[in-house]
Amino acid sequence: MMAGALCVAGARTLIRSVRRRKAGGARVLILSYHRIAADFPSASRTGLSSLFVSTRTLARQLEQLGRERELVSLADACRLLSEPTPRRRRARDVAVVTFDDGYASCHALGLPVLQRLRVPASIFVATGYVGTARRLPHDRLWASLCELERRAIPLERAGLRRPLQQLLEACAEPGPAATLDRLIARLGHDELIAVAGALEARAGQRESDLPDSTRILSWDELRELAAAGVDVGGHTVHHTVLSNIPASRASAEITGCRDEISLHLGAPPRHFAYPNGYHTPAVRRMLAAAGFRAAVTTEDTENQRGGDLFRLRRKSLWENSTLGALGYSPWLAACNLDGVFGTLGWVRPVPGERPDAPDPSEPSADPLPSPPQAPAEPERAAG
């Protein structure tokens, strides 16, 4: 109702016009999706619902985008944003479609939608999981946290080994989603994997028990996506939050995924997505040195012409992003995609920028390193 009133009253049109002027011309909206499902209600019972979009809703969102914006590749969007002033005035804003993590459903269910609507897209993959039976850390943690909640086992009584139990309790929040957010934001990769394994053991689960919807693409499927025109980008080797690990490991995660994609697809990736959106100045420099041309965050703010191409902003979409009281709502979609709610201050972007870690070669007054601190703003569960 509110979205419809904003559109009818002209607020959406006014906000779009103001933001277009601030952007220096055509606005560049970059969208982020994750998993695709044939049926959202059943899929959301087996995984984190905010990562899912149904094929029907995906098609409707892309169709609405195509009516109001020019759908372009990420490379084209980067060229547009790198121009200090536009070479030609575009009548319409542009939009870019991206998928994070490399779930197999992007090939099985997403590719037919993209091809039917002739929509260019990018997909970012964590290469260490491609073609394997392994599952991403956030899917493992989510399944175990939900199982403990189902059994009414409080996290403070999870009974993990003392160091891991302390880490879990330090990140505990009401509900599995909030706890998952904080675990990912605060823990280093090795700690995160250790907690995931311990929680699985406590819940009586195994990584192989996770549903098939959590499967990651094979290299053959990625080659088919690339042959269909989908741009394949890097997302580290192990879906590692780069701001939470030492610089040497962050560099290995970046170059490792670059080299694996080059080996299997015949060309190095040009674009990168920061896992969970977190990045630092040092990480951005590493990406440039590794030959990447641009990188995307999960910060839902406006992209500005002439800005840093290694800090491209994206809007995350899922099933309920365009769901009104009576089903799919074009009004809600229009306001959400145009940034109306953010402009009015009803939603706040989650910043992904973090400071560089201290150089271990420099003397420190504190001989014990402090654990990574979670940002004060709300966090996100996966990306």
Dihedral angle at the C-alpha atoms of 64, 278, 99, 2, nearest 10 degrees? -20
Same domain membership, residue 198 and residue 109: no
Specify the range with the lowest mean pLDDT, choosing from 75-79, 120-124, 163-167, 369-373: 369-373
* Top-confidence residue, 311 or 368: 311
- Please report the pLDDT score of residue 192 as a whole number: 97
163: helix, strand or coil = helix
Same domain membership, residue 223 and residue 239: yes
Contacts of 380 (CB under 8 A, 6+ apart): 181, 276, 277, 298, 316, 350
pLDDT beyond 70 at 223: yes
Same domain membership, residue 300 and residue 158: no
- Please report the pLDDT score of residue 375 as a whole number: 34
pLDDT, average across residues 160-175? 95
Same domain membership, residue 215 and residue 113: yes
Residue 8 within a domain: yes
Q: What does DSSP assign to residue 108?
A: I
Spatial distance between the Cα atoms of 274 and 29, rounded to a whole number of angstroms: 17
DSSP characters over 206-223: -GGGS-GGGPBPPHHHHH
Please report, in angstroms and rounded to a whole number, the separation of the first and last CA atoms in the chain: 30
Spatial distance between the Cα atoms of 42 and 33, rounded to a whole number of angstroms: 18
Q: What percent of the chain has pLDDT over 70?
A: 89
Same domain membership, residue 233 and residue 277: yes
Q: Single out the residue in 149, 176, 208 at which a domain terminates.
A: 208
Tokens of 315: 């809007």
Write out pLDDT tens, residues 263-303.
999 999 999 999 999 999 999 999 999 999 999 999 998 89
Pairing of strands 323-324, 28-33: unpaired
Same domain membership, residue 176 and residue 287: no
Determine contact, residues 148/159, Cβ cutoff 8 Å: no
Determine contact, residues 234/124, Cβ cutoff 8 Å: yes
CB neighbourhood size of 383 (10 A): 26
Query: If you average pLDDT over every residue of the chain, what do you get?
Result: 89
- Please report the pLDDT score of residue 362 as a whole number: 45
Same domain membership, residue 142 and residue 39: no
Determine contact, residues 123/195, Cβ cutoff 8 Å: no
- Please report the pLDDT score of residue 8 as a whole number: 52
DSSP characters over 289-342: HTT--EEE----S---TTS-GGGB--EE--GGGGEETTEE-HHHHHHHHTTHHH
- Please report the pLDDT score of residue 5 as a whole number: 62
Count of structural domains, the chain: 2
Determine contact, residues 81/303, Cβ cutoff 8 Å: yes
Specify the range with the lowest mean pLDDT, choosing from 14-18, 33-37, 181-185, 204-208: 14-18
Determine contact, residues 293/301, Cβ cutoff 8 Å: no
- Please report the pLDDT score of residue 249 as a whole number: 97
The identity of residue 326, as a single letter, is L
Write out pLDDT tens, residues 122-156.
999 999 999 999 999 999 999 999 999 999 999 99
What domain range is 200 assigned to? Answer: 138-208
Tokens of 167: 């880490």
- Please report the pLDDT score of residue 342 as a whole number: 80
* Top-confidence residue, 382 or 47: 47
230: helix, strand or coil = coil
pLDDT, average across residues 75-84? 91
